[in-house]
């Protein structure tokens, strides 16, 4: 019985999709990128299918093609991919905007739960982003004054620079930053980055984290939308320090009594889902691993799913179903987790990262596997991540 007897059209189509995604990211002509990538993907897959004597050989040929495509990814911006992007940033004609402190003609850009972001011209003629806090929403772990202190201390080439701050009537506090056009989440959703650009952006994220962790600062909210850049070519800046932490800072919790309600939905590390308050920089590294997984996966799907309302139980279920339900042997840290054992979970078997991230490059998958680990002490540090082979081609 040949291995091909159990390998149907749907299986082959899935491989072609992975190859198409890999080759599409190497193209510098977006108008024909998909069609050209599809043609090349079909050729590679057909050749692999015809030549392979086993499924393992077939998988190896296709994986090598994906890895070679990543290594060959163009570092140039994709011409035309930003064709309509300027429309998002052009103000309507005769639009006056609001006055905020010394800044006139401020236009609302984004409304969040804890702040509102406005765009306005700075005195030097550049565009700035004014982050106006909403005082009654500033409950722990959110602390805008701690955010300012840690931002100033953490000044770095890959951390968003703080220009100035000032108070408004009613207790509102304003932080002024350069306005940076894109966030990584948007670039991923719109397929606006090549493989090389993705590596460069992720490398900048780890550079920022290595700097922060060297200062003893935890970011506590690593996610694609908090990684900003002016263009797909970078450089990338880590932003939003609203819930950041440092031992000894006047507004930070004691080291062993940190707030566990930190992070965003599916990027939250498992130790805080089980009530561990003594967490450290590994919290950021789990989230960073989730960002890497999302960036390198076919279709850029989030690695885990916290459900429609961001439920902790939904996220735990998703993590266990994806990585396998851990026990004390696999995750010794559970012995110090306050909420471990309070709920009994279905026992899911471990899955390979090849199964979890099909179609991703080998180096990319390996980097994720060394960051997204149950045992927090086993996760790569940010400095170690920068030395991983995934970044060798950047």
Q: Are residues 97 and 112 part of one domain?
A: yes
Tokens describing residue 76: 């140039």
- Measured CA to CA in angstroms, residue 394 lies from 203, 204, 233, 389, 390 at distances of 9, 11, 12, 10, 8
Q: From 144, 178, 212, give the residue that closes a domain.
A: 178
pLDDT at 259: 96
Q: From 117, 146, 178, give the residue that closes a domain.
A: 178
Tokens describing residue 119: 């765009």
Q: From 178, 203, 231, give the residue that closes a domain.
A: 178
Residue at 78 is within a domain: no
Active site residue: 143, 183, 204, 221, which one?
Answer: 221
Is 36 in the active site? no
Residue at 285 is within a domain: yes
Q: Are residues 252 and 310 part of one domain?
A: yes
Residue at 90 is within a domain: yes
Q: Are residues 347 and 237 part of one domain?
A: yes
Closest by CA position to 21, among listed 382, 361, 321, 278:
361
Residue at 79 is within a domain: no
pLDDT at 31: 45
Domain count, the chain: 3
pLDDT at 75: 41
Q: Are residues 251 and 295 part of one domain?
A: yes
Residue at 295 is within a domain: yes
pLDDT at 131: 95
Q: Are residues 289 and 164 part of one domain?
A: no
pLDDT at 140: 84
Q: Are residues 354 and 210 part of one domain?
A: yes
Tokens describing residue 341: 């054992």
Q: Are residues 187 and 152 part of one domain?
A: no
CATH at 36: 1.10.246
* Domain membership of residue 56 as a residue range: 3-71
pLDDT at 241: 96
pLDDT in tens, 330-362: 999 999 999 999 988 999 999 999 999 998 999
CATH at 165: 3.30.200.20
Contacts of 377 (CB under 8 A, 6+ apart): 282, 333
In this prediction, the residues of the chain whose per-residue pLDDT falls under 50 are: 30-31, 74-88, 93
pLDDT at 15: 81
pLDDT at 25: 64
Residue at 77 is within a domain: no
């Amino acid at each position: 019985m040949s291995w091909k007897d159990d390998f149907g059209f749907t299986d082959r189509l899935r491989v072609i999709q992975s190859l198409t995604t890999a080759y599409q990211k190497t193209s510098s002509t977006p108008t024909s990128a998909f069609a050209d990538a599809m043609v090349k993907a079909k050729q590679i897959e057909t050749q692999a299918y015809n030549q392979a004597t086993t499924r393992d050989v077939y998988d190896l040929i296709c994986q090598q093609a994906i890895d070679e495509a990543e290594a060959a990814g163009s570092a140039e911006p994709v011409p035309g991919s930003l064709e309509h992007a300027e429309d998002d940033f052009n103000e309507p004609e005769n639009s006056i905007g609001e006055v905020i402190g010394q800044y006139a003609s401020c236009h609302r850009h984004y409304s969040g739960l804890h702040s509102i972001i406005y765009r306005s011209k700075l005195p030097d003629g550049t565009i700035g982003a004014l982050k106006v806090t909403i005082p009654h929403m500033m409950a722990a772990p959110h602390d805008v004054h701690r955010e300012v202190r840690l931002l100033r201390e953490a000044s770095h080439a890959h951390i968003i620079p703080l220009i100035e701050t000032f108070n408004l009537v009613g207790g509102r506090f304003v932080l002024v930053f350069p306005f940076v056009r894109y966030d990584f989440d948007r670039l991923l959703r719109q397929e606006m980055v090549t493989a090389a650009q993705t590596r460069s952006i992720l490398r900048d994220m780890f550079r920022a984290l290595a700097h922060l962790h060297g200062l003893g600062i935890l970011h506590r909210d690593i996610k694609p939308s908090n990684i900003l850049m002016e263009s797909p070519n970078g450089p990338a800046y880590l932003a939003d320090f609203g819930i950041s932490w440092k031992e000894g800072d006047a507004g930070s919790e004691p080291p062993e009594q940190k707030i566990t309600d930190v992070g965003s939905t599916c990027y939250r590390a498992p130790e805080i889902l089980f009530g561990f308050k003594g967490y450290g920089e590994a919290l950021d590294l789990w989230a960073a691993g989730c960002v890497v997984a999302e960036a390198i996966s076919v279709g850029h799907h989030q690695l885990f799913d916290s459900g429609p309302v961001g439920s902790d139980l939904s996220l735990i279920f998703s993590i266990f179903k994806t990585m396998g339900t851990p026990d004390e042997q696999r995750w010794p840290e559970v012995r110090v987790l306050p909420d471990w054992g309070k709920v009994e979970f279905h026992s899911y078997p471990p899955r390979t990262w090849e199964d979890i991230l099909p179609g991703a490059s080998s180096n990319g998958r390996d980097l994720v596997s060394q960051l997204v680990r149950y045992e927090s002490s086993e996760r790569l540090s940010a400095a170690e991540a920068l030395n991983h082979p995934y970044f060798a081609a950047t």
